Amino acid sequence: MLRLKHQSMITWLTQTERDLPALAPAAWLSPPEQERLAALRVEKRRREWLLGRWTARRLIQSHLAEAGLACDLRDLQILAAPSGAPTISARRSELQAALDGWHLTISHSRGRALCALARTPAIGADIEQVAPRHPAFAGDYFTPAERAAVAATPPEQREMLITAIWSAKEAALKALRLGLSVDTRRVECRMAPPGGGAWATVTLSCDPILEAPPLRGWWRVSEGYVLTLAVGAA
């Protein structure tokens, strides 16, 4: 786990399917979460949803431990707001008090999840496996400046850059609680060169029509996955 010290502090964690406990989900999910899981019919979706809940719990548990609070995984509940964004609640009042004002973001991709916590609702995270995309992808979803950045990149690095730009858009749109309900070209991402295992910056510019607060962003590559974070700069 890493703490990013910027204007807003972000705590993040990744987990893989191998980290999931052998325990039955009922041993660590709240009853409303168990109902939600039961309603998910597609096995891939069940697995990613579970991994997201698991990663979020481990992140929140570590966060509370830093504040000197022990927390059982079943003390926590992570449900979706109407927007789809995750919300945290705790069934013990001292845990709830410690979590008040903290906001969670969840992402999953091919057996991995990334979760992040920050003291602002304008927090978004995304994880994407670096993989080839249809040749028309950048033309359909990227701004002219993003397409120019891709064209100027050596061919062997293009897949990574396309994945990173897409991921940064998703992180920003999650921070705005919009998701993919808006045209992805309304957020323009300028990726600083990869930081060799450290976070590199992403400059995020939103179309004024979104009435978005200023956002700051970061990206990194780890084991074939791109990770991105976006947070309200205020």
Strand residues in the chain grouped as ranges (E): 2-5, 9-16, 76-80, 86-90, 103-109, 112-118, 123-129, 187-191, 200-206, 215-222, 225-232
For 9, the 3-state DSSP assignment is strand
For 12, the 3-state DSSP assignment is strand
Binding residue for ligand COA (CB under 6 A) from 126, 146, 160, 172? 126
Residues 174-213 vs ligand COA: string with x where CB under 6 A? x--xxxxx--------------------------------
Residues 40-79 vs ligand COA: string with x where CB under 6 A? ---------x--x---------------------------
Least Cβ distance, residue 123 to ligand COA (angstroms): 9
Question: What are the helix and strand counts (H, E) for the chain?
Answer: 6, 11
Stretch that binds ligand COA, among 4-12, 84-92, 144-152, 212-220 (CB under 6 A): 84-92
Classify burial at 29, counting beta carbons within 10 Å of its beta carbon; exposed 0-12, middle 13-18, buried 19 or more: buried
Which residue's CB is nearer to ligand COA, number 75 or number 170? 170
Alpha-carbon distance of 39 to 35, in angstroms, equals 6
Q: Does the footprint of ligand COA cover residue 173 (CB under 6 A)?
A: yes
CB contact at 8 A, 228 and 218 = yes
Total residues contacting ligand COA by CB under 6 A comes to 19
Interface residues with ligand COA (CB under 6 A)?
A: 49, 52, 80, 83-86, 106-108, 126, 170, 173-174, 177-181
